[in-house]
With several copies, the nearest count.
Chain A
Amino acid sequence: MKISVQAAPFDLGAELSEFGTGRADVGAVVSFTGIVRDDSGQMHALELEHYPGMTEAAITRIAQEAVERWDLADALVIHRHGRLAIGETIMMVATAARHRAAAFEAAEFLMDYLKSRAPFWKKEHGPGGTSWVEAKDTDEAALKRW
């Protein structure tokens, strides 16, 4: 299991190239990558604040829960903080399991929890200044299914 909270970019391909390999019991690997999107067409950058110390602990706990619940062979979470340009990769999760259903479910579970339970806050930088991204009811609702 690898958990990393970092300012630096990461290489999705390099992270996935060895993930879940070298075991005869892994049949399915799912990855999710979150990318800085610009819905308004006017955003300059996205800034991610986090809570050092708590962030790593919260993500590790969430990932361990996923590994146990879906009997994962491995799990990976990388989440960046700091200032990111549009199109940059914000974070990724990956899950390795025997069957595809477990790998998909565990990855969705991780994402739903990271969205609402890991201490990150997004701020948009635009032409009119900055504004904090508000939490969505749909993200909170997504947790209910687990």
Chain B
Amino acid sequence: MIDVLYFAWVRERIGLPRETLETQAATVADLVTELKAREPRYEAAFADLSALRVALDQELSEFDAPLKGVREVAFFPPMTGG
């Protein structure tokens, strides 16, 4: 089981802030492929990965990173703080 969090327009497009999933995905990219296959709103949210960032257990990571041992995955657009 893995917690998946969405922020900013990713959250708005998917329509929920977080969900808990059962997945066999080996990498973040594999998880994205699974999610896109679920529904058009996921397909829309993940259409352009270059416009997205990912954090694994609250640390910025990459889409080819392995998911083994990870409890929390977050997807969001580039940050605009400060």
With a CB–CB cut-off of 8 A, which chain A residues contact B78?
A: 116, 134-135, 140
Q: How far is the CB of B18 from chain A (nearest CB, A)?
A: 11
A120 to B82, CA, bound (A): 8
A34 to B82, CA, bound (A): 7
With a CB–CB cut-off of 8 A, which chain B residues contact A115?
A: 79-82
Indicate whether A132 sits within 8 Å of B9 (C-beta atoms), given known contacts A51-B58, A54-B58, A121-B76. yes
Chain A, residues 109-123, CB within 8 Å of chain B (1/0): the string is 001001111111111
Residues of chain A having any CB pair with chain B under 8 Å: 34, 48-51, 53-54, 57-58, 79, 90-91, 100, 111, 114-123, 132-135, 139-140
A135 to B11, CA, bound (A): 17
* A interface majority secondary structure: mixed
A90 to B11, CA, bound (A): 23
Interface residues on B, range: 10 to 19
With a CB–CB cut-off of 8 A, which chain B residues contact A111?
A: 82
Indicate whether A118 sits within 8 Å of B58 (C-beta atoms), given known contacts A51-B7, A132-B9. no
With a CB–CB cut-off of 8 A, which chain B residues contact A135?
A: 77-80
Q: Which residue of B lies closest to A48 (CB)?
A: B81
Of B9, B60, B77, B82, the contact of A91 (CB 8 Å cutoff): B82
Indicate whether A49 sits within 8 Å of B60 (C-beta atoms), given known contacts A119-B76, A122-B81, A132-B77. no
Of A114, A117, A134, the contact of B60 (CB 8 Å cutoff): A117
